Amino acid sequence: MLQLSLKKVWQDPTYFLAFGFGSGLAPFAPGTFGTVAALPLYFLLALLPPQIYLVMTLVAFALGIWICGKVSRDLGVHDHAGIVWDEIVGFLLTMFLVPVHLIWVVAGFILFRIFDIWKPYPIRWVDKHVSGGLGIMIDDVLAAIPACFILEIISHLFPVGAG
């Protein structure tokens, strides 16, 4: 039944987004592949003024609450590993206001994945106690906060690629 439902990734726009444009179908480390899927979106948004970037990211977050919740309910699995829209939004938040340069993209990718996988307190607590679409999305937003903070500090101390 679940395998049949996963065919919907290519047929249903809600599943397509929730599964990170198909990246969530990766046979291993779908969260990492979902973060990779965020890269083209990041490079497009990085061309915009910071206010628009933030608004678009917040819209993606709000949309994610709905799409991740719907797909999770449809699949009957809370936070199915293939649902990676949360990683996409988390990476976008991690990169907010960071200079657009390959070194910062790589550093942001690594920092976000570390916090998303490690889930230090309170991220782990929130992950276990908040359900539905909000629960799927919020732990990645919380992982993005320290990743972004650290990245901002490092990018200011070592201004590679700063405009």
**Strand, coil or helix: what is 87?**
helix
pTM: 0.94
Q: Does position 163 have pLDDT exceeding 60, yes or no?
A: no
User: For residue 163, what is the enclosing H or E element?
Assistant: none
Across residues 2-11, what is the average pLDDT? 76
Output the pLDDT for position 3: 64
Q: What is the mean pLDDT of the chain?
A: 93
Instruction: State the pLDDT confidence band at 161, using cuts at 50, 70 and 90.
Output: low
For residue 128, give Cα distances in angstroms to 74, 123, 131, 138, 152: 20, 9, 8, 11, 28
Structure letter (DSSP) for residue 54:
H
> Per-domain residue ranges for the chain?
45-157
For 36-61, the pLDDT digits (tens) are: 999 999 999 999 999 999 999 999 99
